[in-house]
Structure formats: structure tokens, C-alpha cells
Amino acid sequence: MPLLELNLAKTLMLAVLLVWLGRFVRSKVTFLVNWSIPEAVVGGTLFAILTLILHSTGMLEFKFDTKLQSFFMYLFFTASGFEASASLMKKASGKLLIFIVLAGVLAVLQNATVVGLSPVVGMDPKLGLMTGSIPLTGGHGNAAAYAPLAEKAGVQGAVTVAVAAATYGLAAGSILGGPVATRLIKKYHLYDPNEKDTSDAEALEEAGKVIPLDGKRFALGCALTLIAFGIGAFLMDLFSLVFPGVNFPIHVMGMVGGAIVRNIYDALKKSSKATPEKEIDILGSVCLSMFVSMAVMTMRLWELAALAIPLILLLVAGTLVTILFTYFITFRALGKDYDAAVMVAGHIGFGLGAVPASMANMNALTDVYRYSKLAFIIVPVVGGMFSNFTNAANITFFMNLVGIH
């Protein structure tokens, strides 16, 4: 079969073009936006389907240079660590701490379920783990981060399975969150149409405070992120010395490095607003798009054929665990009130997919009923940051448990 090799420059060019293609397709296909499927996933998946057709017909096969994929991944997670400001920690209410624990417990249950069921459905537990909290609670970012570690350890098809599971999770999380929360609201009569609601006005006022982007602040943000990245690498070296037998991903230490640099810089400047958070967020978003695009476009979809039925069974099991946990545990632990119901919609969103799915679920729900300021503060913070820390420890434990070293 003819082989087309793309060097680093050509691979990067293709990754960017596929992000743009995904953006164009999303603008034309409404359900992709409604399901919060990222541009990089849309474009990358279309290209992966093309490579499947070319491979199946024996016409052409591609070889990519993905050296920078890991670099983009590390920078994205490092940038995410900058969200952990000391001022945010001080504002952490009891419900925030409870929700952090709930998110961590659900992720553990997802992994325990798929690892336990893998032998039953005829799948290697190492590969089955790629359908657990890595793609579900973790989303495409964690799928693209952890699955290559499994492939390096000899788990063939890990990236393809993890990315496919993450794509399923986005759709399932976006579809199921609203109906489950609506069921809770109606069953427990949590909404009074005569109740006056002013919390959304406060939120809109806060959202209206726009800080314009600044070139110097963006340069500062890039510099701080690279410094944090380096600190994370030193922390990783230290961790490896203290725990030589434990496989712990370097990108998690990048997040720790980001949190350290954020709080030191804020302390030096004596302001929680000193860090160029918006600029760092943009840098992280660019890196996320690049490494997800590269991960998805290089999927070898033909490797999924023999795994179709076991993969579906494991994903259905993970979905049922998530729905039952959020319905019976999350709702009650958070107070069994209207805010708790909205947070259930958010928990299903990022518990199966990603934070954008959470926000879409909660927006749709509050458009029908009323705004929940508490939910819109807690869910994105836990889903976008804290769950990455708790899930990292959870994934590391299970990867070592099933023998991925």
C-alpha cells in the first residue's frame, strides 16, 4: 500500500486545517453545537474516516510526525492549573468541597465498572480502562493524554478506543443531563413559577465586566505558563525519585506548577487579578485544539471493528453508573433542592463528556425554570479544574492496577 509521510511542519499544518474544517462543519450542523462536540474532534474525525476508507481500499496510508502533540498537551494542562487561585480556594463553600468528592467518587466507580466488566465482555482490562473515567470524566483532553501512555505500554488501539469513547460521552452527557435533572425538579416539586428570581441579573452584571486583551499581558501569560511547565517537570523528577515504581503523568505536575506560579505571582503583586488569566486561557485553548486534533486525526479506526460490541457494552455500563450515581447520590448529597438538580445536569455533562456539555445542560434547564448562581459557580470550577486533579490520581491507580507501566 502506498505510504504518504507527513513531517512535523506538514502534520502541524494539517492539524490546524482540520480545526478550521471542524469549525466550518459545526457552523452548518446544529446538533454538533448542541452536543458541544469540539471543532478539533469534528475535523479530526472526518479525516480519520477518510484514512479508514483509504486504508480499507488499499489506496493510501498516512504516517505522521506527532512529536509536538505531547508538548501541546503539557502546556494545556499547565495553563489549566492557573485557575487554582488562593482567592477561589477561600470562597470554597461546603457544597463545593462535597461536589469535588462526588466527582472523584464517580470517576473511581466508572473505572471499577469497566475494569471489572472487561473480562466478562471479552476485552482486555487494560483496553477496557480506556472506556472509563479517562474519556468520560476526563473528556477528549484526558483521552489524548493518557491513551498514548497505554499504547506505549503495548495496549494496541488505546488511543482510538479512548477518543471514540470520549466522543460518545459528549453526546450522551449532552442528551441525558437535561432530562434527568428535569425529572428531579418535577418529582420533588423544586420549581415555583411565582418565585421571583434576581440571581441571573447579578450574574449578567458580573459577566458584563469585559477585560480587553493586551499584547503585553499575553506575552506575560506565555512566559508564566512556560515557567510553570518547567516547575512541573522538576516536580515530576522529584516524584519519580520518591515513588520510582508509580506511573504518574507529567501533565498533572504541570497543573500543580501552574497553581504554584499563579499564587506566587498574585502574592507578589498583592492582587488576585494580577495573573493574566484570560490570556493564559486562550493559550491553553489553542494548545488543547492542537493536541486533540493531532490525536483524533491519527486514529486508526479499522482497529475498532473487532471491538464494537464490547466497547458499546462497557460504555452503556459506564453511562448507567453515571446516571444512577448522580440521580441518587449527587442530588441528595448536595441538598436535594433546585440548585442540586441543576448541578446534577452539570455533573452528568462533565461526568460523561466535558464542561461545555455541563454548561449547555444547565443553560437549557435554567432557561425553562430559573437561574442557579450556585450551580454556575461550582460546576465549571469542579469539572474544569478540581476533577482533573482527583481523576489523575484515580487513573494513575487503575493504570498501575491493570499493569500499564
- What's the average model confidence in pLDDT over 172-187? 90
In the chain, the number of structural domains is 1
Tens-place pLDDT, residues 304-317: 776 789 999 999 99
Q: What is the reported pLDDT for 167?
A: 83
- Cell numbers standing for residue 327: 440521580
- What's the average model confidence in pLDDT over 181-197? 84
Query: Is the CA virtual torsion 316, 320, 321, 323 positive or negative?
Result: positive
Q: Predicted confidence band at 201 (pLDDT cuts at 50, 70, 90)?
A: very low
Q: What is the reported pLDDT for 342?
A: 93
Residue for grid cell 458541544 = 36
Least confident of 47-51, 133-137, 275-279: 275-279
Burial class (CB in 10 A: 0-12, 13-18, 19+), 333: middle
Closest among 127, 182, 168, 142 to 306, alpha carbons compared: 127
Report the DSSP beta bridge partners of residue 64: 6
pLDDT above 50 for 28: yes
Q: Predicted confidence band at 30 (pLDDT cuts at 50, 70, 90)?
A: confident
Q: Predicted confidence band at 162 (pLDDT cuts at 50, 70, 90)?
A: very high
Task: Report how far residue 26's alpha carbon sits from residue 171's, in angstroms, rounded to the nearest whole number.
Answer: 14
- What's the average model confidence in pLDDT over 135-139? 92
Q: Predicted confidence band at 386 (pLDDT cuts at 50, 70, 90)?
A: confident
| % of the chain exceeding 90 in pLDDT | 51
pLDDT above 50 for 123: yes
- What's the chain's average pLDDT? 87
Q: Predicted confidence band at 204 (pLDDT cuts at 50, 70, 90)?
A: very low
Read off the pTM.
0.71
* Coil vs helix vs strand at 62: strand
Q: What is the reported pLDDT for 200?
A: 45
Tens-place pLDDT, residues 60-102: 999 999 999 889 988 988 888 887 777 766 665 688 899 999 9
Task: Report how far residue 237's alpha carbon sits from residue 283's, in angstroms, rounded to the nearest whole number.
Answer: 25
CB 61 within 8 A of CB 54: yes
Most confident by average pLDDT, 222-226, 265-269, 294-298, 371-375: 222-226
Q: What is the reported pLDDT for 306?
A: 66
Task: Report how far residue 356's alpha carbon sits from residue 36's, in angstroms, rounded to the nearest whole number.
Answer: 6
Q: Predicted confidence band at 9 (pLDDT cuts at 50, 70, 90)?
A: very high
Least confident of 62-66, 326-330, 380-384: 380-384
The phi, psi pair for 227, rounded to 5°, reads -65, -45
* Coil vs helix vs strand at 273: coil
With residue 91 as reference, give the H or E element that holds it: none
The parent domain of residue 239 ranges over 3-402
Pinpoint the alpha helices (H) of 243-276. Answer: 250-269
The full length of the chain comes to 405
Q: What is the reported pLDDT for 205?
A: 45
pLDDT above 60 for 197: no
Q: What is the reported pLDDT for 113?
A: 98
Q: What is the reported pLDDT for 247?
A: 60
pLDDT above 60 for 46: yes
